[in-house]
Structures are given as C-alpha cells and as structure tokens.
Structure 1
Amino acid sequence: MSSFKSYFSIIQVLLLFGYTGFFSCGAGAQQMASEVKEVKAPKLLFLNYTISKDTNGTYRATFINKVLTEGRLKDKTQRQPLSDAGDIVCIQYNDKNDVLDRSYIKNPLQPIVEYVNDDGNLEKRQLNLNSAQIAIKLQLQEATSSVRLFLIDASGNASTDLITTSIR
C-alpha cells in the first residue's frame, strides 16, 4: 500500500510541474504576441528627371514622374560618394529637414558608351550632352518627406540645388 501512495504522490508532483509549465508558457506566449509591432514592407522609389545644361553652363532639372512600389534595393553602388564636377547627390529628408539617406549619380551629361569601331574592336568614348533623362532608384526611408538633387561643383561640394520633390 505504501508503494501505491508513493506512486500516486509522484504522479501528482509530475502533473503539478506539467500544469505549471503549461500555464506559464501560455501566458508568456500571449504577452509576446501582444508586443509584436506591425512591420511595414520596404519601399522602393523611382524618380525620373530630365537634366539639361544651357549655353551659360547653368544646370536645370525637370521632374517627370515618380513610382512607389514595395521592394528592397540590392545594388549599393549609388551609395559610394562621388566628387567630380557634374555628379549629382540625391538626399532624402524628413519633415524636419534632417538628412535620412544619400545616393550619388555619375554625371548624366557625360556618359561613357561602348561601341564597335571600324576594325571590329570595342572602344569607349565619353559623350558631352546638353540634355539627358535620368532614372533614380532609392530605398525609401520610412520618414522621408522630400528628395532633393544637388549638383557637385569642381571643388567637390554639393553647392547647386537642382530640384526638390515631395514624396507625400
């Protein structure tokens, strides 16, 4: 009879531990579920502009359109700083005019093109254009309210404000 009592006591202890573990995990899981915040999908912003230079050397930018879609930017080459004259820096700002992100675009009016010469060999040549269209692809920051394009001058400073585009 004493073995039956000890066996019964062991079962009671195991059930007590089992129920305690079950209820403590259940309460923790409910608490964790309520703390999960809504995660927004990353956004890509495509901006299209026409950049032109007049006979005085003054640059102008004209907004064409913008496209906002879900996605993540894979190519990080636009994040490397450029400092040649005619290059463009694209800056994302929040409502308080704080800089959120920067991207760089090589001078769109001096593209380097490859072509096949008369001998059948590939050659590269830099063109000097008066006008060109550019497409800028950005990883949109959540707080971005506007994007501004600046022209980099001969000393490497982003001195000329080309255009400001509102995102909202």
Structure 2
Amino acid sequence: MKLFLIACILSLFLANCKSGNHLHDNTDVMNEETQQPKILFVNFSLTQDSISGILSADLINYIVTKGRLKESAKSKRYAEDGDLAFLLLDTNGEPLKEIIFENPLQKKVEYVDNEGKLATKMLKLQETDHFLRLQLIEGSAAFIIQEFIKSPEQLRNDILKVNIE
C-alpha cells in the first residue's frame, strides 16, 4: 500500500513537471528577432569653415542595438536658420522620421553681467562632437543630416548621409 501511494505521488509529480510550451521552429525565432525594437546611436563631429562658413559633418560611429527608448527624441516644432535636421530614410530615400534640433556649434550661455543682471550670449564654435539616439523604425536604410538655410523656400543643405547596414 505504501509502495502504491509513493508510485501515485511520483507519477503525479512527473506528470505536472512536463513543459507546457512546445519547441519553436527556428524561423519563428528569426522572425521574433527581426521584429524586436532597435535603437540607433549616432556620434558625429561638426565643423564650420571659418572663412566660407560652410558646415560639414564627419561620422565618428553609429551603433544599432536591440531595445526601446523610454521617450523619443525631442524635435523642435519649427526650423530656424542654421538648425539641423536628422532624417531616417527608407530604401527608396523617402523620409520615415525627422528630428529638428539646434545647431550644436551655436551655444547660448547665460551669465551675470557687471550690474548683477542675468544676460545671455551666443557663442559660435568652430568644431564640436554631437550625439543622437532615437528609436529605429523598421525599414530604415539610411540617415541624413541637413542644415536649414535661411531663404524664402527654407532650403536644406545635406551635410552627411550614411547607409545603415
């Protein structure tokens, strides 16, 4: 009787310990991996020629990694002269997302003047490094950085274009 009771308990225990999940096909795992959200980190340097005033950018590096940002990159509502735009492009070169941000070469500095009042001053740098991070949209094939140029048509000057691998 004791042996029968132990056998029943052992068989119930083993029956309840089996895995309820079935093994996934490798294609399911691959599809899940490609559908995971990704983050794009971009480091680049900006340089403004002191004579011509032409702005140029050089890519330092970019990294694509799995993950989701808590909040998306903040974009200015309206572009002003000298602002920069970061665009994610699809395989056809059509924009998927645009972020407008202030030119990092133009820094506003607040200070206390001789009269004890708070004042601001615009510093214009010749060179700086800048960093952006944003949620990568599925189907993104490239990104481009553009400078807004003051004109009636609000022209844009491409300063950097990179294909995402």
TM exceeds 0.5?
yes
1:44, distance to aligned residue in structure 2 (A): 1.4
Correspondent of 1:130 among 102, 126, 142: 126
Question: Does residue 65 of structure 1 match 2:73?
Answer: no
Correspondent of 1:98 among 94, 102, 105: 94
Which segments of 5 or more consecutive residues in structure 1 lack a partner in the other structure?
Answer: 1-36
For the structure 1 residues 90 and 158, does the alpha-carbon distance in structure 2 shift closer, same or farther, using more than 3 Å as the test? farther
Deviation string 1:139-165 (CA, Å, 9 cap, x unpaired) is 111110100011100127242110101
Correspondent of 1:84 among 80, 87, 105: 80
**Greater Rg over alpha carbons, structure:** 1
Letter in 1 for 2:45: T
Identity percentage of aligned residues: 26
Superposition pairs for residues 31-50 of structure 1, below 5 Å? 38=32, 40-50=35-45
Provide the TM-score with structure 1 as the length reference: 0.67
1:121, distance to aligned residue in structure 2 (A): 6.8
1:82, distance to aligned residue in structure 2 (A): 3.3
Which segments of 5 or more consecutive residues in structure 2 lack a partner in the other structure?
Answer: 1-30
Which has the larger helix fraction?
1
Name the CA distance, whole Å, in 2 between partners of 1:44 and 1:131: 26
For the structure 1 residues 158 and 142, does the alpha-carbon distance in structure 2 shift closer, same or farther, using more than 3 Å as the test? farther
1:75, distance to aligned residue in structure 2 (A): 4.2
Corresponding residue SS for 2:106: coil
For the structure 1 residues 158 and 134, does the alpha-carbon distance in structure 2 shift closer, same or farther, using more than 3 Å as the test? farther
Corresponding residue SS for 1:77: coil
Name the CA distance, whole Å, in 2 between partners of 1:94 and 1:149: 15
Provide the TM-score with structure 2 as the length reference: 0.69
Letter in 1 for 2:162: T
1:41, distance to aligned residue in structure 2 (A): 2.6
For the structure 1 residues 75 and 122, does the alpha-carbon distance in structure 2 shift closer, same or farther, using more than 3 Å as the test? farther
Letter in 2 for 1:160: N
Structure 1 stretches of 4+ moved >6 Å: 118-121
Alpha carbons 2:39, 2:135 under 8 Å: kept: yes
